Amino acid sequence: MGQPVQEGDSSIIVSLSEAAMHMYTAAIDALPFAEDKKFHKRADVVLSGMRKLRAALTDAASTSRPSPAVIVALSNVRRRYDALMEHAAAAPGSSLGQQLYVTRVHAKLSANEVANGAGLRADLLDELEAGETPTDEDAAKIKDAIAALGGVPGTEHLQPVPEPQEPEHEEHVDEHVNGWDESLVTEHAG
């Protein structure tokens, strides 16, 4: 985006990134419980800022001048962003964009791979991540993709527990003693 990063610029970029992450970390730590009505509104503000920081660091890391400090800063931002997205996706009222993001990251798939596999526009996933609302048709495709990839990680506790099934053959249960076939137990008992 614009001018290439100069050697001295990378230390400035890293310092600014660290300052921003310090503020984002404080904001994340101050978020209300996930069940609070204000949670998503506040988390979305932090996620939006972190997306901007992530984009700037991605641009800085893609320059031809090597800078390990920039890629370390980018890695730290991505990890913290992913952790907050996981928390938001598992919270009540999460968006399909948050759910799909966490599901695809957990499945180790890129946005383009998921978009192609689900029959969605490639840029739609970025829009959803930023809070856009999908059409009903796209929402159905997204839900199918999430289900195909095993569901939203971290929400297993929210899934209904299936009712235990009664055995179909009651007499079959009586033929066994503590897991052993009764004929084996009576043959060797006498």
CA 69 to chain centre: 26
Residue 102: its pLDDT value, please? 95
Residue 15: its pLDDT value, please? 92
Residue 155: its pLDDT value, please? 73
Q: What is the pLDDT along the chain (190 residues), one digit of tens a residue?
A: 455 545 567 888 899 999 999 999 999 999 999 999 999 999 999 999 999 999 999 998 888 776 889 999 999 999 999 999 999 999 999 999 999 999 999 999 999 999 999 999 989 998 998 889 999 999 999 999 999 999 998 776 555 556 667 666 555 555 555 556 566 556 655 5
Name the pairing type of β-strands 176-177 and 180-181: antiparallel
Q: Is 82 exposed, middle or buried (0-12, 13-18, 19+ CB in 10 A)?
A: middle
Long-range contacts formed by 9-15: CB under 8 A, 24+ apart: 9/60, 10/60, 10/65, 10/67, 10/69, 10/70, 11/69, 13/56, 13/57, 13/60, 13/70, 13/73, 14/67, 14/69, 14/70, 14/72, 14/73
Whether the pTM exceeds 0.85: the reply is no
Q: 3-state class of 120 per DSSP?
A: coil
Residue 104: its pLDDT value, please? 93
E strand or H helix at 68: helix 68-90
Residue 46: its pLDDT value, please? 96
Residue 1: its pLDDT value, please? 46
Q: 3-state class of 113 per DSSP?
A: helix
